[in-house]
Each structure stands twice: as structure tokens, then as C-alpha cells.
Amino acid sequence: MARFNLPRIGTDNKRQVLLCVLCGLLAALVAFWVNLPVRPLADRLVQSAAKQGLHMVIDRPALAFPFGLHAAGMEVRIPNLPHPPIPLRGLTLTPAWTSLFGSNPGLDLETGVMSGKLWATVHRKGDIALRLKGLQLSESLGPRLPLQVVAVIESGQFNGRLPLAGRNSSDLELTLNNAALVGLKTFGAARDRLNLGRIRLKAGGRGATLKITTLEASGGDIEAAGSGSLTLGRTPALSRLNLTLQLKPSAALDPALRDLLNLLGKPGRDGRYRLRLSGPLNALRTR
């Protein structure tokens, strides 16, 4: 019987074969990446955000190398809150590689917002870890209270699961610097600005109710300390705050504002005024 012997592949030939295989795989990946539809990926992201109660508009999505999505900008709006859309600049999304082999894959997000930076990791089941740094805050308190809150969010982090409902847990920490209330001349003050200095906030809870465990303001015209709870509803009218505050004015406080504090009652022996804020967010009452 005739025998057939296959030719042996030498070392040089093996390298050539391996190189051809690698080149073929690389060409296939490049072809897959180039032809990957960007708009459907962006649309799916918008749909996922909508399930969490967010309205999102992505500006000029494009592929980011390697394996990511980049957008010139994005706007995020919470439909039930009377707040203008929040613009994000230079959004980049990449896979959270260590999560892709589990049951809860996620995406890493990096973007510019309010002249600062935001980083987040968002998972399919709603888990989110978020960090903030250097955001310039400037918010109006509304037509009934013509004041503006300004501050720099020095650092912030949120860890939890969205939506904030049921038994989903969450933790929030914020540190603000150069905080102030602006617009006080409307109330007869000589100065338009009330400096609040440095503010620290810690809160956590389950579902829609957050327990405020730490609220401190130091280094400003008024020192403050407080605690309480915040229950988030679909609108400010359905959201409730229950907050106990202790306020201690400094010697630099405007005399007109000190007179306003006296309307809250007499200070204690320690010089602190005690008050309670409660009710829906659109109609808070003081006691």
C-alpha cells in the first residue's frame, strides 16, 4: 500500500502562517469596526436612559478608537423637574471591560459638564458609580424666592442603583467650596451676597427616600449643621424635605440679615438659631 506523507512545516513557514492568520483577524476586526452602525448604538443608549426617566439628545455620535462611542455633546433633561437641559461636552463611552464576562455588563463614561468633569460606570441592571470634580454650580431658587445659589462642586460621588425606587440603595457625598446665596439686596441687605463657605453633604437610603446624615457649612458668614430626609417624587410638588438646621451667624454677617434671623426666634445660649424646614419642595415651610 502506498504511503502519503504530509510535508512538514518549518519554523519559518509556521511564522508566516501565524502572521497571515493574525493579519486576517486584524483586517476582519477593522472591517467590522468601520462598518459598525453608530446611530443604532446611540439610539439604544437614548432608549436605555429613557427607561431611567431621563430624556437624552446626543450630538454627532462617532466611533472612538478602540471600541467606544464619542459625541461632541449631549443634553440630559429630567422631564418632571422644572430645570433646563444639562449640557455635556466631549462625551466618551467605552466598555467596562472587567464587567463584560458577567451577568451585569457596563459602560464607562467620561464627559465635561458645567465647566467640570464627570466620570461614571453604568451597568445594565441600573447600578451606577459616579464621580464629579470642579463643577461650577449656579442655580436659581425659583420665582417665589429670587435668590441664586453659586458654588464649586469640589468633589462628589454617587453609588447606587437606578431608579431610586423599591429596595434599590444609594449613597451620595458632596463637597462644595465658595458657596454663596446671591440676590439678598432684594430683602433689604446692604450686601447682595451671603457667603456660606465650604459645605459637606452625606446622604444615603433605599428607594426614593434619602436620609441626610451630614450637612455642614463652615468658613462663611453663617455656620450651619443639619440632618433630615428627602423623599424624591416625580415632581417638586410630590417631593418632600424634612430638615432640622442649626445656624450660628458670624461677626461679619450683614445686620439686616441678622434681623431676619431674629424672626425665626431667639438664639440659644450657644448663639445658634434652630429651625425646621419641611413640606413639598415647591412650598417649604419653616418652624
Residue 6, in any domain of the structure: no
Residue 16 lies in a domain: no
Same domain, 84 and 150: no
How far apart are alpha carbons 94 and 72 in whole angstroms?
15
Same domain for 42 and 99?
Answer: yes
174-183, 240-249, 275-284: segment of lowest average pLDDT: 275-284
Name the domain boundary from 91, 125, 159. Answer: 125
- Statement: residue 255 has pLDDT above 90: no
Regarding whether 80 and 154 lie in a shared domain, the answer is no
CB-hemisphere CA count at 13 Å for 11? 0
**Can you tell me which residue has the cell 431676619?**
260
Residues 117 and 239 in one domain: no
Domain that holds residue 65: 34-125
Same domain, 226 and 102: no
CA distance 207 to 32: 42
pLDDT of residue 34: 43
Tell me, yes or no, whether 276 and 165 share the same domain. yes
Residue 2 lies in a domain: no
pLDDT (tens digit per residue) in 92-124:
888 777 777 778 888 888 899 999 999 988 887
Is the domain of 76 the same as that of 199?
A: no
Task: Give the type of residue at 242.
Answer: N
Tell me the pTM. 0.78
Can you tell me which residue has the cell 453609588? 159
Q: Which of 125, 146, 170 is the last residue of a domain?
A: 125
**Which of 67, 91, 125 is the endpoint of a domain?**
125
User: CA torsion 30→35→39→42, rounded to 10°?
Assistant: -30
% residues pLDDT > 70 (the chain): 78
Q: What is the mean pLDDT of residues 213-227?
A: 95
Mean pLDDT of 114-143: 87
Cell (9 digits) for 234: 416625580
186 in the same domain as 64: no
What integer pLDDT is reported at residue 223 of this predicted model? 94
pLDDT of residue 164: 78
